A and B are shown apart, each in its own frame.
Chain A
Amino acid sequence: MAVHATYTYDVLVIGAGGAGLRAAIEAANAGVTVGMVCKSLLGKAHTVMAEGGMAAAMANNDDRDSWKVHFADTMRGGQYVNNWRMAEIHAKEAPDRVRELEGWGAVFDRTPDGRINQRNFGGHRYPRLAHVGDRTGLELIRTLQDHASYLGVTVHMEHTVIDLLLDSGRVAGAVAYDRERGRFHLFSAKAVILSTGGAGRAYKITSNSWEGTGDGIALAYRAGAELIDMEFIQFHPTGMVWPPSVRGILVTEGVRGEGGVLKNREGRRFMFDDIPDNYKPQTASDPEEGWRYVQHDKGARRPPELLTRDHVARCINREVKAGRGSPHGGVFLDIAWIKEKLPNAEEHIKRKLPSMYHQFKELADLDITKEPMEVGPTMHYIMGGIRVDGDSQMSSVEGLFAAGECASGINGANRLGGNSLSDLIVFGKRAGEYASRFAKESGQPRLDEAGADRAITESLTPFDRGSHGENPYNVQQDLQEAMQNLVGIVRTESEMQQALNELRHLDERNARVGVEGHREYHSGWHTSIDLRNLLPTSEAITRSAIERKESRGGHFREDYPDKSPALGAVNIMVKLVPGVGMRVSRIPIPPMPAHLKQAIEEQTA
């Protein structure tokens, strides 16, 4: 099969969101050659959608904050199955990673004394999210993109990687096609960083763009890397539910951070009815106290709308199932009510939540300063992914690194809002640093051209079947339907077994997918390639979810509604065993060192 071009880099970064760009910057600064491959145009990655902010214990708004509190919050949010080393590094390094962005051109919202302003967010004890209105992700990606472009990083835009290439067990590069012409490209690299984001497109209702097809997770899996925590999926409690075409699009948690309240059709603030015991001491006892909290009264406790995302999502799910939902199958999120409290509420809302105002006005014809929004849970984030070393971000495959959403560990069973953008810059930087170090110490590996050839031939088989084959869009739609209905917010053994059957069936159908015509921007063909990644990712989610017979964080089982101490001591791991298939196992979580245990105890005391 003809390969259009071959490129050689020290470090190849796959994915150009926040983590990939931060990794590329670090690697370029380390003096190695850096190539970057991304599916979209530069600056369009899903990071752009992040709204609320990036969590970093800079203590600008509350000097009681410190890395220890941030660490303890992250571990509690993750229900203690996090990689504690990553949670520690993240809490310690996030402030510096945020601060350096300012020198690269980021312009954050300010405190009255001119420092970076930090806002409250679910699960964070103190105001901790550095932000720019409700478009923090855009600010982050633009800043990193502009900074990287001055450092001589070569960006291959609108290229999709179809497989990684190995050289005797070590990563050696990747094979990709360009979306523009459908030509194939080989990348030879001493180290590869995966920063491909999530897998929201495995579900029907998701906040993720088309790019979230689990590419990095599946590429690493096929290359033999270990995956962990795949059962932990975050359903963000507030996605748009109407109109149908925007169902799933995110409504930032910042709305609740600014005083927005959740109500059912009876007008009841149902979140006050179900506050978990371990959060009771930190939760407001009445609406008045909740309001004082969002007005930065340090003596007040948070309103229950700001409990962790998994809990809020399940409460909304319950209200809807009990018939107390809004007309289009969600609940009401009301920020307009703050006009009872603030004289200039309308301007305040527009200034604090400009994108939300804009989004509802233009897409739903609704003015959020006057009316409540309708919201419901949406698949937002996968806590699981490629298992990495906490310090270096290297996977179990030599020379293969991962950072950001496609990597796993920092978030445990549930991610706190704001911990993703900070994860990107903390571990993006580390991946770039360690990958360039690895590259400097290694020779250029042998490029497996036969392997590339096999991958290319396989990717083209849908054209051989032409219009007689299965329609790839139908296969993707049925996959999303199955995952949504059978491995969703509330799970049971029987439904997940049924999901495995469906996945087997979908695998067979995917082997018969056909497309017709040319290879230029051929979305049908691209969908068939995405399916190669979505299917194993979905299977890993399902098998891991079956294995974890308890409820914890983003994984809730109706047949095992409680936490199991035994399962709280392990991560579920998935690995491809050649000739056998997907193997699931439990790996013990190493014991936490004393200084970290103490940090947690200080916060619960």
Chain B
Amino acid sequence: MRDQATFRIWRTQPDGGGGFRDYTTAASDGMVVLDAVHRIQAEQAPDLAVRWNCKAGKCGSCSAEINGRPRLMCMTRLNNLNLDEPVVVEPMRTFPPIRDLVTDVSWNYKVKKGIRKITPRPADAPDGTWRMAQRDVDRVQEFRKCIECFLCQDVCHVLREHRKFDEFIGPRYFVYAAALEMNPIDTADRIPDMKEKAGIGYCNITKCCTNVCPEHIHITDNAIIPLKERVVSRYYDPVTRLLQMFK
């Protein structure tokens, strides 16, 4: 590996606009992009704004776009990048910029509040607990691996290009809704909301979200498609509709 690498980092300008600036710093075996950003911060640009926390791929704070691909900076190793050219590091483009690599992700928190919360059935046992088989919670546990890095939201073209922030909740919240819908003890019904408020119809299953998920959650196949199927069988299935007419 080269001992030096150049990072082309997005910097906010005083006028509110922005542009790329190149920083060259030492690179060593095992380093990740976030290490390089920290080194640049400590040596050359103490005011470089970056959001991070655990540095182990567990908190989902350091989301950015590296060479055009949404990724966690802490999980992107330099030896997997071409260091003969500058490594381009820019903020998630789907969300409003705050400064340098930091974006305003508050929309996500707002969306979550709009999803019906868990409504458990009465407890199965006198001590207030439930009985669930591991095989029935496996799929929910896959969804609950989500670290809320919002990279899936960043890459989703419904948000990124079409800006449907008011009509579409994005892949993260389909995963969240699916986890609740498939929780064995939950009794709430989110299917009407999925159709009417969450805009699930906008998703045309290009699987971009699945491809960028650092937790390798099968967002499209295991969360979005099953939710779409539930919407379809509730509202569009001819047999169901026929039966409803005679109710």
B134 touches A110 (CB 8 A): yes
Binds A, one of B97-105, B156-164, B192-200, B204-212: B97-105
B54 touches A115 (CB 8 A): no
B30 within 8 A of A: yes
B48 touches A523 (CB 8 A): yes
Binds B, one of A81-89, A237-245, A585-593: A237-245
In the complex, what distance in Å separates the CA atom of A354 from the CA atom of B217? 12
| Chain A positions 91-144 with a Cβ under 8 Å from a chain B Cβ | 99-100, 102-105, 107, 109-110, 113-117, 132-133, 135, 138-139, 142
- We find that the number of chain A residues with CB closer than 8 angstroms to chain B is 64
Chain A neighbourhood of B52, CB < 8 A = 210
Contacts A243-B30, A244-B30 hold; do A48 and B112 have CB atoms under 8 A apart? no
In the complex, what distance in Å separates the CA atom of A245 from the CA atom of B26? 13
Q: Mark contacts of B112-145 with chain A using CB atoms, 8 A cut-off: 1 yes-contact digit, 0 otherwise.
A: 1100011010010001111111100100110011
In the complex, what distance in Å separates the CA atom of A517 from the CA atom of B57? 31
Chain B neighbourhood of A157, CB < 8 A = 106
Q: Mark contacts of B7-22 with chain A using CB atoms, 8 A cut-off: 1 yes-contact digit, 0 otherwise.
A: 0000000000000000
B51 touches A102 (CB 8 A): no
Chain B neighbourhood of A183, CB < 8 A = none
In the complex, what distance in Å separates the CA atom of A518 from the CA atom of B145? 37
B36 — nearest CB in chain A belongs to which residue? A245
In the complex, what distance in Å separates the CA atom of A147 from the CA atom of B112? 11
B32 within 8 A of A: yes
In the complex, what distance in Å separates the CA atom of A45 from the CA atom of B54? 8
B141 touches A249 (CB 8 A): no
Contacts A40-B53, A110-B133, A110-B134 hold; do A515 and B46 have CB atoms under 8 A apart? yes
Main secondary structure of the interface of A (DSSP, over half): loop
Binds B, one of A359-367, A430-438, A502-510, A570-578: A359-367
Chain B neighbourhood of A517, CB < 8 A = 46-47
Chain A: minimal CB distance from B158 (Å):
23
B215 — nearest CB in chain A belongs to which residue? A358
B240 within 8 A of A: no
Contacts A114-B132, A209-B54 hold; do A139 and B144 have CB atoms under 8 A apart? yes
| Chain A positions 497-537 with a Cβ under 8 Å from a chain B Cβ | 515-518, 520-524
Contacts A44-B60, A99-B127, A149-B113 hold; do A209 and B144 have CB atoms under 8 A apart? no
B148 touches A359 (CB 8 A): no
In the complex, what distance in Å separates the CA atom of A515 from the CA atom of B102? 20
Chain B neighbourhood of A249, CB < 8 A = 55-56
In the complex, what distance in Å separates the CA atom of A516 from the CA atom of B145? 40
A110 touches B132 (CB 8 A): yes
B128 touches A100 (CB 8 A): yes
B98 touches A116 (CB 8 A): no
In the complex, what distance in Å separates the CA atom of A115 from the CA atom of B50? 42
Chain B: minimal CB distance from A14 (Å):
17
In the complex, what distance in Å separates the CA atom of A157 from the CA atom of B56? 21
B56 touches A113 (CB 8 A): no
A107 touches B77 (CB 8 A): no
Contacts A180-B98, A521-B49, A521-B100 hold; do A473 and B55 have CB atoms under 8 A apart? no
Interface residues on B, range: 35 or more
B129 touches A150 (CB 8 A): no
| Chain A positions 408-451 with a Cβ under 8 Å from a chain B Cβ | none
In the complex, what distance in Å separates the CA atom of A40 from the CA atom of B61? 9
A146 within 8 A of B: yes
B4 within 8 A of A: no
Chain B: minimal CB distance from A408 (Å):
24
A44 touches B53 (CB 8 A): yes
B30, B105, B130, B134: the one contacting A41 at CB < 8 Å is B105
A355 within 8 A of B: yes
A46 touches B54 (CB 8 A): yes
- Interface centre among A48, A107, A142, A157, by most chain B C-beta atoms within 10 angstroms, is A107
A404 within 8 A of B: no
A43 within 8 A of B: yes
Chain B neighbourhood of A284, CB < 8 A = none
A102 touches B129 (CB 8 A): yes
- Interface centre among B75, B100, B130, by most chain A C-beta atoms within 10 angstroms, is B130
In the complex, what distance in Å separates the CA atom of A57 from the CA atom of B41? 47
A114 touches B128 (CB 8 A): no
A132 touches B32 (CB 8 A): no
Chain B neighbourhood of A40, CB < 8 A = 51, 53, 59, 61
Chain B neighbourhood of A73, CB < 8 A = none
A249 — nearest CB in chain B belongs to which residue? B56
B147 within 8 A of A: yes
A44, A113, A355: the one contacting B131 at CB < 8 Å is A113
Chain B: minimal CB distance from A117 (Å):
8
Q: Mark contacts of A153-172 with chain B using CB atoms, 8 A cut-off: 1 yes-contact digit, 0 otherwise.
A: 00001000000000000000
A215 within 8 A of B: no
Chain B residues close to A by CB (< 8 Å): 28-32, 35, 41-42, 46-61, 75, 77, 98-100, 102, 105-106, 109, 112-113, 117-118, 120, 123, 127-134, 137, 140-141, 144-145, 147-148, 179-180, 183, 185
Instruction: Known pairs A40-B53, A139-B144, A245-B32; list 4 more (Cβ under 8 Å).
Output: A40-B59, A102-B129, A103-B120, A210-B52
Between A and B, 29 residue pairs with Cβ closer than 8 Å are: A40-B61, A42-B109, A44-B53, A99-B129, A103-B118, A105-B117, A107-B179, A110-B133, A110-B137, A114-B132, A115-B129, A116-B129, A132-B141, A150-B113, A157-B106, A209-B53, A245-B35, A246-B30, A250-B56, A359-B57, A362-B57, A365-B77, A471-B42, A517-B47, A521-B50, A521-B98, A522-B49, A523-B41, A524-B47
Instruction: Report, nearest first, the 10 A-B pairs whose CB atoms are least far apart.
Output: A243-B30, A521-B49, A524-B46, A114-B131, A110-B134, A44-B59, A105-B118, A245-B35, A517-B47, A473-B42
